Amino acid sequence: MRPIPRLVPRLHNILGLVVGGQVLLWIVSGFFFTFFPIEQIRGEHLRAEAPASIALPANGFAPLDGLVAADVTTVRLKPFLVGAAYETETPQGKALFDAATGAPLSPLSETLARDVAETGWAGDGALTGLTLVDAAPREAGRGHGRAMWRADFDGKDTATFWIDPQTGDIAAVRTGLWRTYDLFWGLHIMDWTNRETFTSWWMKLAAFLSLVLTLAGIWLVVVRVRRGKILR
């Protein structure tokens, strides 16, 4: 047998040992991803639907004059609990004001955070814990690294709400299913810490070696077919 053909089976065996585990993880994780709709992973079925309209306060909306400072870039009227709130944005961040009185609502007190959690919950279970986390973990989504309220629910449905104290929004809903999905996602894209980057050199190297492994396997099949040994 010539040197190059002799090298191909050996290369195929070595690459199978080197990247075979990662290929298996790609297959298993990809298989897992197909079982659940992304809406279920995100826990959207556990969120109560937001009001379709904003009720007009008995005495009308508070004037914006006292709320809008020179550095305010946007003002948004939005539903909040049973009423409405103004959400303002400045270069320093966002703030929330009662749309009926103009009183500041942010950062949310424990009472308001509890009301937001219980009003936003649509699952089968009860609020069992409420904690202000100074630096929220990565699972808090866009609240990562900032102060966030963590609301834990337990019952037939178990979940965690991450609530933004500056806007009153439920920034993320996390369940055991989401955490399992997140683990598999990190293994799938080979970003084991942040689980966000799928263009790392580890990923590129594994993909390249897997391609070589596949091409070598195809070459071996072709050779065996030509020699009539495919079933031996």
Q: In Å, what is the CA distance from 4 to each residue of 7, 8, 10, 116? A: 5, 7, 10, 68
The pTM for the full model equals: 0.82
pLDDT for the residue numbered 95: 92
- Given a contact cutoff of 8 angstroms between Cβ atoms, the answer to whether 148 and 141 are in contact is no
Please report, in tens digits, the pLDDT of each residue of the chain (232 residues total): 455 567 777 888 888 888 888 989 999 999 999 999 999 999 999 999 888 778 777 778 888 777 777 678 888 999 999 889 999 998 889 999 999 888 999 999 999 999 999 999 999 999 999 999 999 999 999 899 999 999 999 999 999 999 999 999 999 999 999 999 999 999 999 888 887 877 888 888 888 888 888 888 888 888 777 776 665 5
Residue 197: HSE in the Cβ half-sphere, 13 Å Cα cutoff = 10
Point out which residues pair with 90 in neighbouring strands: 93
The answer for residues whose C-beta is within 8 angstroms of residue 28's C-beta and 6 or more apart is 184
